[in-house]
Structure 1
Amino acid sequence: MEENSWFNNRHLKILTILTMAAMLVFGIYKYETKKVTISIDDNKKMTVKTLKGTVGEVLKKENIQVEEGSYIEPKLDTKIKDGDKIIIKKPKTYKIKLGKRVTEMQSTENVVKDILKDLDIKLDEKDYTKPDMNKKVKPEGQIEIVKVVEKIDVVKNDIPFENIVKNNNKLEKGKSNIVQEGKKGVKEIKIKKVFENGNLISEDVISEEVVSAPVSKVVEKGVKEIEKPKTIQVASRGSTPSRRNRSTPRSTASTKNGNINYKKAFNVVATAYDLSFASCGKNPGEPGYGITASGTRVRPGVVSVDPRVIPLGTRLYVESLDGTRDYGFAVAEDTGGAIKGNRIDLFFPSSSAAKAFGRRQVRVYILK
């Protein structure tokens, strides 16, 4: 009986010790085990229980390979605690387009703004992307960067002046007097131009300002009637008037276009001009193009004169002295910087006609 009792007591002690040891091991295991969540590229997530101590050991235990250039948070040598999250973002290739150039670059991000930040690509305030900054992009996808530049251009345009003609009853008819010279004004125009990747996409006028106003040209036109000159016999072309009549102006003359009545006649040097840039110094569309000093539109029959010799508005007849066709009836409506004294400039509708006329002596009749 005593022997059985001793055996039972010893067996009970051994069982108790084993139980306590198991409980101790279980407690230590339970205490050391940690629950960790692993997220890979936001599309794969797993939760594991581990006894491992660092991030790197956990990933190795779970056979998770980390590619070079991957983003890992926390770092591989960080100690793990229960409830920790391990985030892994693998590098992905994207096509970055700027203008016509496309470059392949790698980033661990997948949202446009995060990809550009990761690649240290900075945009100016007005720049934008396709797709926009908050969109996700798939691997091998393209991000186009559009560089926007705004430029303000300032253009100055001439404002043509107005020609004002006033009648003066104290000035003889056929004469004129410039009271005030005209002066062109200046308008300043600001134009905003918008460029995208160097290409002009819009052009808008944002302001117009008159820097200086034009000054009108004022011309007095004589309307006073004058006594008509006496009529005398006209000598034929080439003959010399008698000494008695040399100081008296002739009244009529026979021309290729018939008889004319005139007040005065004299010989001058005649040249020719047209509307080409080489002749008038202006191009179509520019202020004052094709407009005479009198404010009329230039046309065949318009003659440029020195107003001190032939007043503007004077009706003329221009006779050829070399046997060629007369220029004929005309009006003194224009002036020119080179037309001084006994010189006139005849308008022709084409450059070829003006060149053909060249420079020659003509006789000018001041008509009644």
Structure 2
Amino acid sequence: MEENSGFNNRHLKILTILAMAAMLVFGIYKYETKEVTISIDDDKKMTVKTLKKTVGEVLKKENIQVEEGGYIEPKPDTKLKDGDKIIIKNPKTYKIKLGKKVAEMQSTENVVKDILKDLDIELNEKDYTKPDINEKVKPNDQIEIVKVVEKIDVVKNDITFENIVKNNNKLEKGKSNIVQEGKKGVKEIKIKKVFENGDLISEDVISEEVVSAPVPKIVEKGTKKIEKPKTIQVASRGGTPLRNTTSASRSTTSTKKNTASTKNGNINYKKAFNVVATAYDLSFASCGKNPGDPGYGITASGTRIRPGVVSVDPRVIPLGTRLYIESLDGTRDYGFAVAEDTGGAIKGNRIDLFFPSSSAARAFGRRPVKVYILK
């Protein structure tokens, strides 16, 4: 009995020691074990428990490889702590387009702004991208960069001076006298042009300023009447009157003509009336055609478009009519013109004046004018 009792005691001691050792080992294991989250390219996540001490060791154990040029945070030699997060980003290929050039470039990021930052591509304040700067993209997607440049052009235009005729009752009728010579003024027009990747996409008139006002030409026109000489009676020797004579023996009749004094000289006309004038040019926005399209640059009369061509309503002004267009707001006259074109919006007392550029057409805008139908 005593012998069995001793054996049992020794057996119990051994079991106790083994249990304590197991508990110690379990405690050490539990203490040394760390739970780590691994994120790969923002779309794969995994959580592992490990006894490994560094980032590199746990990645090796989990057979996770980082591609050349990839990104690891924290670095491979960093010691791990429980709850650490390991972020892995492998390089991805994107197509970067600037203007007509497309290049394939690699980045570990997947948001447009982060990709451009990673590639050291800077955008100016007005530049933009397609897709939007804050959007996510996929590998092999194209990112287009649009470089925006604004430029201010200054154009100086002449302002035609006015011809002023004043009556002078001290100056004989039929005579004239220049009191003041005319001088053209200058108007400064500022045009904002917007370019995208070097291509002009818009131009707008932002201001108009009269730098120097025109000086009118002043002419005095004589109105003083010339007295007719008295009638002289010539008699024969016998005292009988022979004839009556005057210094102006011939009487003349004058036919009244329709004449007008314009900024480009005097004109003879059949008829004159006021209309509303607009302007057009050869841009697609104005004429609805591009170079190469059928009928591009050809008028309704079949002639080539050019400065001096006017679009009219043929019911009001027949095609082929010679005209003079006078400004009614003090600006330069459009001048001599020919009615050779028509337009869908030109009805009734409206005309459309051709200008060689979009900026000139926009600068003219919409104005009241006087139309003279010339003889």
TM-score under structure 1 length normalisation: 0.63
Partners of 1:22 and 1:362 in 2: how far apart? 108
Q: Is the 8 A contact 2:163 2:263 kept in 1?
A: no
TM-superposed deviation, 1:172: 2.2
Partners of 2:285 and 2:114 in 1: how far apart? 62
**Residues 332-341 or 249-258, more deviating:** 332-341
Secondary structure of the residue aligned to 1:57 is: helix
* Residue-by-residue CA offset, 1:182-235 (whole Å, 9 max, x unaligned): 111111111111111111111111111111111110001123344689999999
User: Kindly tell me: are residues 338 and 12 of structure 1, through their superposed partners in 2, closer, same or farther at Cα, counting changes over 3 Å?
Assistant: closer
* Residue-by-residue CA offset, 1:146-175 (whole Å, 9 max, x unaligned): 111111111111111100111222222222
Secondary structure of the residue aligned to 1:161 is: coil
Partners of 2:135 and 2:260 in 1: how far apart? 93
Secondary structure of the residue aligned to 2:285 is: helix
* Residue-by-residue CA offset, 1:7-41 (whole Å, 9 max, x unaligned): 11111111111111111111111111110111111
TM-superposed deviation, 1:315: 24
**Residues 147-156 or 257-266, more deviating:** 257-266
4+ residue stretches of structure 1 with deviation over 4 A? 227-368
* Residue-by-residue CA offset, 1:302-332 (whole Å, 9 max, x unaligned): 9999999999999999999999999999999
Q: Which residue of 2 aligns with 1:215?
A: 215
User: Kindly tell me: are residues 51 and 200 of structure 1, through their superposed partners in 2, closer, same or farther at Cα, counting changes over 3 Å?
Assistant: same
Q: Is the 8 A contact 1:159 1:287 kept in 2?
A: no
Secondary structure of the residue aligned to 2:140 is: coil
**Residues 355-364 or 129-138, more deviating:** 355-364
Secondary structure of the residue aligned to 1:275 is: coil
State the superposition RMSD in angstroms. Answer: 16.7
User: Kindly tell me: are residues 289 and 113 of structure 1, through their superposed partners in 2, closer, same or farther at Cα, counting changes over 3 Å?
Assistant: closer
Unmatched segments (≥5 aa) in structure 2: 242-248
* Residue-by-residue CA offset, 1:69-91 (whole Å, 9 max, x unaligned): 11111111111111111111110
Number of residue pairs matched by the alignment = 368
Q: Is the 8 A contact 1:158 1:287 kept in 2?
A: no
Unmatched segments (≥5 aa) in structure 1: none
Q: Is the 8 A contact 1:249 1:263 kept in 2?
A: no
Q: Is the 8 A contact 1:304 1:336 kept in 2?
A: yes
Secondary structure of the residue aligned to 1:270 is: strand
Q: Is the 8 A contact 1:303 1:332 kept in 2?
A: yes
TM-superposed deviation, 1:256: 34
Secondary structure of the residue aligned to 2:157 is: strand
Q: Is the 8 A contact 2:319 2:339 kept in 1?
A: yes
Q: Is the 8 A contact 2:159 2:332 kept in 1?
A: no
Q: Which residue of 1 aligns with 2:126?
A: 126
* Residue-by-residue CA offset, 1:264-290 (whole Å, 9 max, x unaligned): 999999999999999999999999999
Secondary structure of the residue aligned to 2:251 is: helix
Q: Is the 8 A contact 1:318 1:329 kept in 2?
A: yes
